[in-house]
Amino acid sequence: MKLILASASPRRREILSALIPSFEIVPAACEERADLTLPPEEIARSLARQKAEEVFSRRPEAAVLGADTIVYFRGKVLGKPKDAEDAKRTLRMLSGNTHSVFTGYCILCGKNRAEGACETQVEFNALPEPFIEEYVAGGSPMDKAGSYGIQDDARLVRAYRGSYTNIVGLPEEAIGAELRKLGIILGNSV
């Protein structure tokens, strides 16, 4: 069965390609709506489900994987920054602190549904103001939840507990296990 990734994220594409060599990319066209009163793992799952369901409604013959990543800090969801100043504010807030990254996923395959969310705890280094200015000026934070990508610069993160690929945008271990259960991945790959 053909697998569709319901995301245009190059990071998700790269992680998924380590699990399965051939899949199609069909970004979801829906406007996602987050209920911020839910626990963070449920917010991430709901957003992933919305993406998967929208693409599956157009391509029911395929298996569809939707995913969404949120950063959660002190009771608030930190999404993608609105502009450079918002990115700087977010990085200053996270500097020297620990936050959670949740990636929700939903896989629809015929009448089968597999969904969940993974959490990784991320401890930031104390970020000097010149670093924040340089990092934001480079443009990398602008399309990332929490205004950063762990893969961008080793100076960002002191430590993390959990899945590295979850922080990047797709929990490889959990997705691999779900795709194997659904028969989309065969063998012993991750």
List active site positions.
68
Residue 31's Cβ-count burial label (10 Å; 0-12, 13-18, 19+) is exposed
Distance between CA atoms of 75 and 90, rounded to whole angstroms? Answer: 14
Q: Which of 123, 124, 140, 110 is nearest to 3 (CA)?
A: 110
Distance between CA atoms of 104 and 166, rounded to whole angstroms? Answer: 9
Identify whether the C-beta of residue 46 lies closer than 8 Å to the C-beta of residue 115: no
> Could you count the other beta carbons within 10 Å of the beta carbon of residue 32?
14
Q: Dmax over Cα atoms in the chain, in whole Å? A: 52
- Residue listed under structure tokens 């194997």: 180
